[in-house]
Chain A
Amino acid sequence: MSAATAFRALVRKDVLTFVRDRRALIVSVLTPILIAAFFGYLFGERGGGERGRLPVAVVDEDGSPLSRAVGAALAADPMLEVEPSAAARARAAVGAGRLRASVRLPAGFGAAARRALVGGGPPAPVELLYDPSQSMVKAVVAGLLTEHVMQAAIGELASGAPEAVDATLADLRGNARLDPGLRADLVRVLEATRSLGTRPGAATAARGLAPPFALADVPVSAGPAYNSYAHAFAGMSVQFILFMGIDAGVAVLTQRQLGLWRRLRAAPVSRRTLLAARATATLLIALGILAAVYLVAGLVFGVRIAGSPAGFVAVCVAFAAFTAAAGLFVAALGRSVAATRGLATLVVLLLVMLGGAWVPSFVFPAWLQRATAFVPTRWAVDGLDAMTWRGLPAEAVLLPVAGLLAVALVLGALATLCFDWESDA
């Protein structure tokens, strides 16, 4: 009876201390909500509609119909904000970071592209300058450039424009390196194309080639709809709850310095009760933070538990237990407050990063992706994702929950074994 009273008093002490500490409340509850809201907006569908265009320079040194067509197509692309420019000015702007990339179509580009298209010469050189700090831009601009050049070059011939077809026929007939049979076939195709282009009504037909397919992109999850905030809230909750866990461990070190731990130990309370109470308080605080954060996520950002509510609770409890055990582990192994806090913060940041809370784990190298499969924070983030926007059944989190509980058990046992009971006596 009195052991239970003492246990409750110890838990009450830690929970009340946390609740009364305004800084702890802000860091643990408000900060994850704000950062998750920001990331959710930034990476989500809602933010995507308003995402800024990539500012890109187009340097047309050719002035051919083909280069003008490519320039016009790039300018019309919704992903790009095209600025016609001279080569030197474009290079300076990219170097200064004002533009993300520059596409230079050199003199002779149009003719070279036509020849290359029918095997009559090397590929036309096109220069792409890009900001090395944003290497993803290179892939995006290169992809768009390929699309628009191919559409314009093939379209020009396929539509039977006489000047383009005549110039290409002249190139073909003068190309002695081309296999004579292939050359004859290509000449026949182009002559037929020219004939089509001169038929009545051809002038009104759409020129150029249209893409031969229409892409229907459909987001797929087992849940009702993807909500980009759901993943952001999972990641940020995990990160800041782990920070709280560290603080709980460091608080024990501080209590030892202040003599409070001595006073607690002088009471008729077992060592196991002292540690269990500390862990229980941390677990309850972690669950409280998760409840508060997901309440706001649901009410304000539309995050739903589309999967199993029981599974969601199981993931929350398992992660809270992991946090509590990690806190005890910090308390057991830590020596000075400052050094312990610094080292533990570094470990948490690494765990959170590897857990995919900041950036999705698919951007990691393959070996790192395989390694993160053994990181508890990833189990927690994946588990919360599974029970929210993925809408999976409870069975989907059995493994992550078991993993989190197992690691919690190991950390708790190690903390109990390693705890130094004599240094503060």
Chain B
Amino acid sequence: MSLAVADLCKRYGAVEAVAGVSFEAAPGAILGLLGPNGAGKSTTIGLIAGLLRPDRGSVRIAGRELGGDADPAKRALGLVPQELALIDELPARVNLEIFGALYGLAGRELRRRCDAALDAVSLADRAADPPRQYSGGMRRRLNLACALLHEPAVLLLDEPTVGVDPQSRHAIFATLAALRDAGHTLVYTTHYMEEVEKLCDRVVIIDHGRVLADDTVARLVAAAPGGETLTLDYEPAPDAAAVAALSMLPGVRSAALEAGRLVVSCTDIGAAAPRVLEQLAARDHHCRHLESRAPTLEDVFLSLTGRSLRDP
């Protein structure tokens, strides 16, 4: 494993910010780290990045346990902070040179990596300009490039697309995909669920400092408690007895009237849908409209945490 987090704990006074968080990430994988605000995500990232000292537990990068602040093992780690952590007064290239030098790069090798990083984020032609002259999207891309210079095995990305235009978002996604394909491990936190569904191979959901779920997106969605749902408009609307009868059908988990609409939760929508339609037609109810919806990661998140990902 590139990254192995084991039983991480961090307490601030009476508050247990992180309480025994464990997960792993393989080379060439993107791991989504999700949680509502205050769930312990930032503290977990801080512990992995070596910004905080854990009360208990360990972080291993490529098999080596992280020690103190100056531990050379940290060279295998890159951090893209949520903030635009750039030196606004200095040209982009100088920004890169300084961040590269912090990881021991120097001379020709440093220059070569700077060129490569600027190419990777399509900023080579603006290398001499300071970031304060950049658009928000360009600054985000440079923010990413600064973390790539030393070619870290594990890259921690803390909401790297906040406030980014679609074009820059696409460019960032392309860069991340290329990094994954090159064998880097990416840990990705975001408030955009669709980004997780699109990018991440695995998802770890955290709340109250604890891991609530750790699996692939497909498996998490498949195990969503609500399953797939049918929403139907009938004329006339079925009565309570008719709705209760639907719950007995094969493939149906539950049925209920919600604001005049029939909502049927299914364990097997293929088996349930024709039976529901047939039974109600037999009782002279005429279907006017039908919708089917597969569960999403948002549903999984909501069911686990009781909150939406973007709730304050």
Binding site for B on A (CB under 8 A): 1-3, 5-6, 8-10, 12-13, 16-17, 20-21, 258-260, 262-271, 273, 422, 424-425
User: Known: A12-B98, A266-B77, A268-B70. Contact between A425 and B52, CB under 8 A?
Assistant: yes
Q: Are B68 and A258 neighbours in the complex by a CB distance under 8 Å? A: no
Residues of A with C-beta under 8 A to B268: none
User: Known: A5-B104, A259-B82. Contact between A270 and B70, CB under 8 A?
Assistant: yes
Q: Which residues from 20 to 70 on chain B have a C-beta closer than 8 Å to any C-beta of chain A?
A: 42-43, 46, 49-52, 68-70
Q: Are A269 and B70 neighbours in the complex by a CB distance under 8 Å? A: yes
Rounded to whole angstroms, the CA-CA distance of A222 and B51 in the bound complex is 56
Q: Which residues from 55 to 92 on chain B have a C-beta closer than 8 Å to any C-beta of chain A?
A: 68-75, 77-79, 81-87, 89-90
Which residue of A20, A262, A264, A425 contacts B102 across the interface (Cβ within 8 Å)? Answer: A264
Rounded to whole angstroms, the CA-CA distance of A1 and B82 in the bound complex is 31
Rounded to whole angstroms, the CA-CA distance of A6 and B98 in the bound complex is 8
Q: Are A20 and B74 neighbours in the complex by a CB distance under 8 Å? A: no
Q: Are B85 and A262 neighbours in the complex by a CB distance under 8 Å? A: yes
User: Known: A5-B101, A10-B102. Contact between A258 and B85, CB under 8 A?
Assistant: yes
Nearest residue (CB) in B for A273 is B70
Which residue of A3, A5, A17, A263 contacts B81 across the interface (Cβ within 8 Å)? Answer: A263
- B99 → chain A, closest Cβ, in Å? 7
> In the complex, how many residues of chain B place their beta carbon closer than 8 angstroms to a beta carbon of chain A?
40
Which residue of B43, B73, B97, B102 contacts A267 across the interface (Cβ within 8 Å)? Answer: B102
Q: Are A266 and B50 neighbours in the complex by a CB distance under 8 Å? A: yes
Rounded to whole angstroms, the CA-CA distance of A9 and B104 in the bound complex is 10
Q: Are B52 and A422 neighbours in the complex by a CB distance under 8 Å? A: yes
Q: Which of A17, A259, A266 has the most CB of B within 10 A?
A: A266
Which residue of A1, A5, A259 contacts B85 across the interface (Cβ within 8 Å)? Answer: A259
Residues of A with C-beta under 8 A to B94: 16
Rounded to whole angstroms, the CA-CA distance of A144 and B179 in the bound complex is 88
Which residue of B43, B51, B98 contacts A262 across the interface (Cβ within 8 Å)? Answer: B51
Q: Are B49 and A260 neighbours in the complex by a CB distance under 8 Å? A: no
Residues of B with C-beta under 8 A to A273: 70
User: Known: A259-B82, A263-B81, A422-B52. Contact between A269 and B102, CB under 8 A?
Assistant: yes
Q: Are A259 and B81 neighbours in the complex by a CB distance under 8 Å? A: yes
- A285 → chain B, closest Cβ, in Å? 14
Residue B234 at the A interface, CB < 8 A? no
Nearest residue (CB) in B for A262 is B81
Q: Are A260 and B70 neighbours in the complex by a CB distance under 8 Å? A: no
Residues of A with C-beta under 8 A to B102: 6, 9-10, 264, 267-269
Would you give 14 A-B contacts (Cβ < 8 Å), ordered by A? A1-B104, A5-B105, A9-B98, A17-B87, A17-B90, A20-B89, A258-B83, A262-B79, A265-B51, A268-B72, A269-B70, A270-B69, A425-B42, A425-B51
Q: Are B90 and A13 neighbours in the complex by a CB distance under 8 Å? A: yes
Residues of A with C-beta under 8 A to B72: 2, 268
User: Known: A9-B101, A17-B89. Contact between A259 and B83, CB under 8 A?
Assistant: yes
Binding site for A on B (CB under 8 A): 42-43, 46, 49-52, 68-75, 77-79, 81-87, 89-90, 94, 97-99, 101-106, 130, 146-147
- A420 → chain B, closest Cβ, in Å? 12
- A230 → chain B, closest Cβ, in Å? 34
Nearest residue (CB) in A for B80 is A263
Q: Are B71 and A268 neighbours in the complex by a CB distance under 8 Å? A: yes
Residues of A with C-beta under 8 A to B78: 266
- A337 → chain B, closest Cβ, in Å? 15
Which residue of A260, A262, A270, A425 contacts B87 across the interface (Cβ within 8 Å)? Answer: A260
Residues of B with C-beta under 8 A to A8: 101
Residues of A with C-beta under 8 A to B101: 5-6, 8-9, 12
- A133 → chain B, closest Cβ, in Å? 45
Residues of B with C-beta under 8 A to A263: 79, 81, 85, 99, 146-147
Residues of A with C-beta under 8 A to B83: 258-260, 262
- A207 → chain B, closest Cβ, in Å? 76
- B219 → chain A, closest Cβ, in Å? 32
Q: Are A16 and B146 neighbours in the complex by a CB distance under 8 Å? A: no
Q: A12-B98, A20-B90, A268-B104 are in contact. List 10 more A-B contacts (CB 8 A).
A: A1-B104, A2-B103, A16-B90, A21-B89, A262-B79, A264-B102, A267-B102, A270-B69, A270-B70, A425-B52
Nearest residue (CB) in B for A263 is B85
Which residue of B52, B74, B85 contacts A268 across the interface (Cβ within 8 Å)? Answer: B74
- B302 → chain A, closest Cβ, in Å? 29
Q: Which of A21, A262, A270, A422 has the most CB of B within 10 A?
A: A262
Residues of B with C-beta under 8 A to A262: 49, 51, 79, 81, 83, 85
Rounded to whole angstroms, the CA-CA distance of A10 and B99 in the bound complex is 9
Nearest residue (CB) in A for B130 is A20
Which residue of A5, A9, A271 contacts B69 across the interface (Cβ within 8 Å)? Answer: A271
Q: Are A269 and B52 neighbours in the complex by a CB distance under 8 Å? A: no
Residues of B with C-beta under 8 A to A267: 74, 99, 102-103
Nearest residue (CB) in B for A16 is B90
Rounded to whole angstroms, the CA-CA distance of A12 and B90 in the bound complex is 11
Nearest residue (CB) in B for A271 is B69
Rounded to whole angstroms, the CA-CA distance of A33 and B89 in the bound complex is 25
Residues of A with C-beta under 8 A to B130: 20
Q: Are B84 and A259 neighbours in the complex by a CB distance under 8 Å? A: yes
Rounded to whole angstroms, the CA-CA distance of A259 and B49 in the bound complex is 13
Which residue of A5, A10, A266 contacts B51 across the interface (Cβ within 8 Å)? Answer: A266
Rounded to whole angstroms, the CA-CA distance of A5 and B103 in the bound complex is 8
9 closest Cβ contacts across the A-B interface?
A259-B83, A2-B104, A9-B101, A425-B51, A267-B102, A425-B46, A266-B79, A268-B74, A270-B70
- B54 → chain A, closest Cβ, in Å? 11
Q: Which of B79, B86, B98 has the most CB of A within 10 A?
A: B98
